[in-house]
Amino acid sequence: MTQSNVERTGKVQTVLGMVDPASLGITHTHEHIFMNGTGPYFVVHPDYPERAEEPVSIKNRWWVEHNCNNCRDNIRFESVEEAADEVRLFQEAGGGTLVDVTNVGLGRSPEKLRALAQLTGLNLVMGGGWYVQPSHPADVAGLTDVEMAERIVRDVQDGVDGTDIKVGLLGEVGVSVPFHDDEKKSLRAAVMAQQQTGVPISIHPGMDDDVLLEIVEVLRAAGVDFENVIMGHLDSFGYSRETRLKVAETGCFLEFDCFGYTNFMNTETLGSAHGLPHPSDSERIDDISFFIKEGYGKKIVLSQDVFYKHVRATYGGHGYSHILRNMVPMMKSLGFTREELDDLLIHNPQRALTFAAPR
């Protein structure tokens, strides 16, 4: 174990350096602050091609919400000033830490993240590893899992893209349907890097129960530390409770991260063969209550996955403070205890983001 890894063990790595987990405060574990997802997701709507290059505005927001990948401007946000306005709403609501799971293939911006952290005083954790295969740079296909792991380890220990700004979490490590071989390689590489550095892993799973369980098996075969893994999107990809219980049994963290999304995303919007019906926020809360009753209250983390411009408050969306402003009062009224809410918002994220001892 190198000295740098000794120093990381038991700590959380932000874009400004290592911090004690107890200093994080209220934390959302799956957000996007600077991003460009046009590569893997932008498609021109066959019936509304003229809308493809429109900027997002209040006038077209409703259309964009229901066709979110068919507007190029909707899948990218790169302004530090706008980001500062947005994350301050989270801070004003009591938030202390945001995890930006924007990684390779999604337009990660380390310098902007550091500037934002310095400007606002917010703890920001930067993601690493690779997103879904359609977003992979061309060289990934020719890399081995060992070579990919070496790159990740450098990003954790030395910094990314020629900077000294370091990755604090691997994610969102992407999986598609069907599960691409390069994505399996990416998962194995993430596990290798976890074993060498203790870095946490956050998974973007494919929208299929069988693929979700296959992800678990790939991770298990690679020797992952499930206690150091967050399984994302368990509230919005249509998984059965039975399947999610099987995931919970591994010991990983269960991420309910799409609060605020309640619309149906159609096939033209997704650029895929099937649509995606988002549940209501009330249904999300009901699911969380179910998993708490099943004994997993210490393993659940929350977020809003601000992946689109139309969901930012600037454009009339729910923004980064939705859970704190709207959902927490609802959950209190439904009988969630202070201890349960503190676990979901503070204590569970602390454990999920803490570097484990390398193996």
| pLDDT given at position 187 | 98
Any domain includes 344: yes
Residue 16 lies in a domain: no
Domain extent, residue 98, equals 26-353
Q: What is the DSSP string of 235-293?
A: TTS---HHHHHHHHTTTPEEEE--TT--SEE-HHHHTSSS-EEPPPHHHHHHHHHHHII
Contact 67, 266 (CB under 8 A): yes
In a domain, 1, yes or no: no
pLDDT by position in tens, the chain (length 359): 454 788 899 999 999 999 999 999 999 999 999 999 999 999 999 999 999 999 999 999 999 998 999 999 999 999 999 999 999 999 999 999 999 999 999 999 999 999 999 999 999 999 999 999 999 999 999 999 999 999 999 999 999 999 999 999 999 999 999 999 999 999 999 999 999 999 999 999 999 999 999 999 999 999 999 999 999 999 989 899 999 999 999 999 999 999 999 876 665 565 555 667 789 999 999 999 999 999 999 999 999 999 999 999 999 999 999 999 999 999 999 999 999 999 999 999 999 999 999 98
Residue 19 domain-assigned (yes or no):
no
Neighbour tally for 329: CB within 10 Å: 10
Note the Cα 226 to chain centre separation in Å: 17
DSSP, collapsed to helix, strand or coil, labels residue 101 as coil
Q: Nearest-CA neighbor of 258 among 316, 310, 302? A: 302
Query: Residue 70 has what pLDDT?
Result: 94
Q: What is the pLDDT of residue 288?
A: 98
Count H helices and E strands in the chain, helices first. Answer: 15, 14
In a domain, 12, yes or no: no
The separation between the first and the last C-alpha atoms of the chain, rounded to the nearest angstrom, is 8
Structure tokens at 33: 């602050």
Confidence at residue 262, expressed as pLDDT on a 0 to 100 scale:
87
The answer to the question of residue 9 being in a domain is: no
pLDDT of residue 5: 80
* Cβ(302)–Cβ(323) below 8 Å: yes
The pTM of the full predicted model, rounded to 2 decimals, is 0.96
Angstrom distance (rounded) from CA 357 to CA 342: 25
The per-residue pLDDT for 173 is 98
Q: What is the pLDDT of residue 273?
A: 53
Assess if residue 76 is contained within a domain: yes
* Cα gap 125→110, rounded to integer Å: 10
* Domain containing residue 291: CATH number: 3.20.20.140
Q: Give the integer Cα–Cα distance in Å for 328 and 322.
A: 9
Specify if 17 maps to a domain.
Answer: no
SS (H, E, C) 329-359: HHHHHCCCCHHHHHHHHHHHHHHHHCCCCCC
**In this structure, what are the phi and psi dihedrals at residue 215, rounded to the nearest 5 degrees?**
-55, -45
- In this predicted structure, what is the pLDDT of residue 71? 96
How many domains, in total, are found in the chain? 1
Q: How far apart are CA 287 and CA 240, in angstroms?
A: 11
| Ramachandran area for residue 319 (φ above 0: left; ψ -120 to 50: alpha; else beta) | left
Residue among 316, 322, 231 at smallest CA distance from 57: 316
- Contact partners, residue 8, CB within 8 Å, separation at least 6: 18, 197, 198, 199, 355
